[in-house]
Every structure is written in C-alpha cells, then in structure tokens.
C-alpha cells in the first residue's frame, strides 16, 4: 500500500502560506484507467445506434439494412461495455455487487442497472435479428424461439435505458467534488448524450457505407441527422466551456488542449460538419464518420483526464468550494 496516499503535487506551483497545505491536493482523483473513457465511448456508440434505429423504425422507416446494422452495433457495444467496466474494478470478481442494491442518488448505481437492462434487451433483440438473418440455422427450436422475440417492442422498452447509458457518464462525473466536472453539472449529461448520438450515427453510416448496404434515403437521413447531432454537440461544448470558466483550465492547458481543440472540436465536429455539408460522396461520408468517432473518443479522454488534473489543483478546489468565479 504505497502509491495510494502519495499525490502528484498541484499544478499551481506558487505556494502562498495559508492558502493551501504545501500544495497537496485537498481532494483525491479517481483511479480510473483507460477502460473508463473507452467505455464511455463504446457505450455511447451503442446507446446512440439503438436510439437512432428505434426512432427510425417507429417512424415507419423500413430499411432492413439500417435495422440490422443498428442491432449488431448495439450488441457489440453492449458486450464490450461490461467487460471494460469490470476490468477497471479493483475487485473484478465482485462485479455482481453492482446489482446488489438500487440507489437513486448514485449515478453509478443507476448506470449499472441501465447498462444491465439495456445490455440484456439488446442481446435479445440481436438474437431475434440473427435468427431472422438465418445465422442460427433454420428449423431448430432455438432459432424458432429467437424469431418469436418481439424485437420491436423490446427496442422501444430499451429506449429510456439506452438514453441513460448515453448520458450518465456525464452525470456521474458531475456528481463529484471535482471542480471541472461539478461546475458544469447540468451540461455534462447532455453533452455526453449529444456525443453519443453523433458517434452512434457515425457508426451506423460507416457500417452501411463500408458494406455498401442500405437504401439511398437511409444514407441521406443519416447524413442529415449527423449534421444536426454535431451542431447540438458543438453548441453544448461551447456552453460547457463557458460554464466551466476558469475551472476548465485543464482543457486549455498544455497536454490536453491540442487533443481537445484539435481532436474533438476541429477534427471531431467542425471538419465532419464541413464534409457532411458539402457535396455528397462515399469517401467523404466515410471520412466524416471516422473523424466523428475518433473525436468522440478524444472527448471522453479529455473529460476524464481533465477532471483528474482539476482534482490535483488545490486552488481550483478551494475557490470552487468558496463559490468563487
């Protein structure tokens, strides 16, 4: 037990006696490793893909290729998500304790339950899809059973849980003592969700484009939706930066700024918006989707990493708790 108490010194090097205790961070950063931001990204893609395909279907949009892509993408995301989360636990073998109780005040508890329910439903839905696609064989009882799964109804039922999975990463971070996250409490969830929609849409359109599947109308609709989601994401990100104010310093600071402004804002939002607004072509669409997906990953990374840096800054914590600026 060595590492645990020893802290990186606060980024502020100037020490005013009386203002802090040798610049030792007064709060502690989470241990979360790479699994967490990758999970926020992967889970968000699944949530977005599910939401989009379900909405399209409810509106009577009948493209089977879109439905198929959506269901398999969601399944993949929901298989990976718990694995990532469990491997980040200090005691992975006790992962099932996440479902030991339900706690409405704990975003981690709400998120675990939502992930469990959404993941289970998406498993059933994808099984039905697989049976329809003939992947489970023809006349065997399992395939017949799978075909009987009311996939449409289950998709609609899964919607609230999917939407929560897409947003709760932000809520979870916001409900902490970390200044950068806590300052922006109201917009964290919406920003994560907007990114979840944009990355989910991009995953769908990337899959359809790469496989050369889907109707022309589907591609056009996805393109329109991607643009709208990106605009929403851009607006929410700008508002978040305004809300964070000086507490967003880790995002403007040295190691993270290039990734945030270059990777997320420019590469992940502005560039794809330009690509999607101009002439429509397959390579442009593919490039836009890839950029959005990578930008979403960069966004999750800088948000988690930025919070850790914010927690290490004693002056940020002190002025935040004194409700300054």
Partner 1 sequence: MAKTGFLTDTTVCIGCKACEVACKQWNQLPADGYEMTGDSYDNTQTLSGSTWRHVAFIEKSGRKRLTGDVDLVALAEGVREELPEGAEIDGLGRWTFMSDVCKHCARAPCQQACPTGAIIRNEFDNVYIQPDVCNGCGYCVPACPYGVITSVPEDGRAFKCTLCYDRQKDGLEPACAKACPTDSIVFGEVEELERRAEERVRELHERGYTEAYVYGTEEVGGTGGIGGNHSKFILMDRPETYNLPAAPELPQEKVGPAVAASAVAAAVLSAAVALAFRR
Q: Which of residues 34-63 bind partner 1 (CB under 8 A)?
A: 51-52, 55-56, 59, 61
Tokens of 273: 């918006």
Q: Given candidates 34, 64, 87, 106, which one binds partner 1 under the rule CB under 8 A? A: 106
Q: Could you say whether residue 116 binds partner 1 (CB under 8 A)?
A: no
The site for partner 1, by CB under 8 A, has a size of 88
Contact with partner 1 (CB under 8 A) among 8, 34, 100, 145:
100
Q: Which is nearer to partner 1, 17 or 138 (CB)?
A: 17
Q: Which of 248, 232, 233, 235 is nearest to 184 (CA)?
A: 248
Residue 25 CB, shortest distance to partner 1, in Å, is 7
Nearest to 45 by CA among 292, 315, 323: 292
Which residues is 20 bridged to in the sheet? Answer: 17
The window from 90-98, 116-124, 130-138, 288-296 that contacts partner 1 (CB under 8 A) reads 90-98
Select from 126, 151, 158, 171 the one that contacts partner 1 (CB under 8 A): 171
Q: Per-residue x/- marks for partner 1, 150-169, CB under 8 A?
A: -------------xx-xxx-
3-state secondary structure 166-232: HHHHHHHHHCCCCHHHHHCHHHHHHHHHHHHHHHHHHHHHHHHHHHCCCCHHHHHHHHHHHHHHHHH
- Residues of this chain, 182-221, that bind partner 1 according to CB under 8 A: 182, 185-190, 193-194, 197, 201, 221
| Residue 135 CB, nearest approach to partner 1 (Å) | 27
Binding status of residue 307 toward partner 1 by CB under 8 A: yes
- The Cα 300–Cα 5 span in angstroms is 26
Cα(314)–Cα(316) distance, integer angstroms: 5
């Amino acid at each position: 037990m060595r590492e645990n108490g020893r802290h990186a010194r606060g980024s502020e090097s100037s020490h005013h006696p009386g203002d802090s205790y040798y610049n030792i961070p007064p709060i502690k950063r989470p241990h979360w490793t790479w699994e967490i931001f990758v999970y926020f990204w992967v889970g968000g893609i699944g949530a977005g893909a599910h939401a989009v395909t379900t909405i399209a279907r409810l509106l009577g949009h009948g493209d089977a290729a879109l439905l198929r892509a959506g269901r398999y993408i969601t399944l993949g995301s929901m298989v990976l998500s718990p694995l990532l989360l469990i491997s980040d636990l200090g005691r992975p073998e006790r992962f099932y304790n996440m479902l030991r109780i339900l706690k409405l005040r704990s975003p981690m508890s709400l998120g675990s339950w939502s992930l469990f329910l959404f993941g289970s439903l998406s498993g059933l839905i994808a099984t039905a899809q697989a049976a329809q696609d003939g992947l489970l064989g023809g006349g065997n009882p399992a395939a017949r059973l799978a075909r009987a799964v009311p996939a449409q109804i289950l998709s609609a039922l899964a919607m609230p849980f999917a939407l929560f999975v897409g947003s709760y990463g932000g809520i979870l971070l916001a409900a902490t003592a970390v200044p950068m996250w806590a300052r922006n409490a109201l917009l964290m969830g919406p920003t994560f969700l907007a990114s979840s929609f944009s990355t989910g849409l991009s995953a769908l359109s990337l899959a359809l484009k790469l496989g050369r599947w889907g109707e022309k109308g589907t591609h056009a609709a996805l393109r329109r939706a991607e643009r709208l989601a990106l605009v929403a994401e851009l607006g929410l990100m700008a508002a978040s930066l305004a809300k964070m104010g000086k507490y967003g310093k880790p995002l403007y600071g040295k190691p993270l700024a290039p990734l945030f402004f270059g990777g997320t804002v420019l590469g992940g939002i502005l560039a794809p918006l330009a690509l999607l607004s101009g002439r429509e072509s397959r390579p442009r669409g593919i490039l836009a989707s890839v950029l959005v997906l990578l930008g979403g990953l960069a966004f999750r990374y800088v948000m988690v990493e930025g919070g850790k840096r914010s927690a290490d800054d004693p002056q940020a914590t002190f002025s935040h708790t004194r409700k300054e600026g």
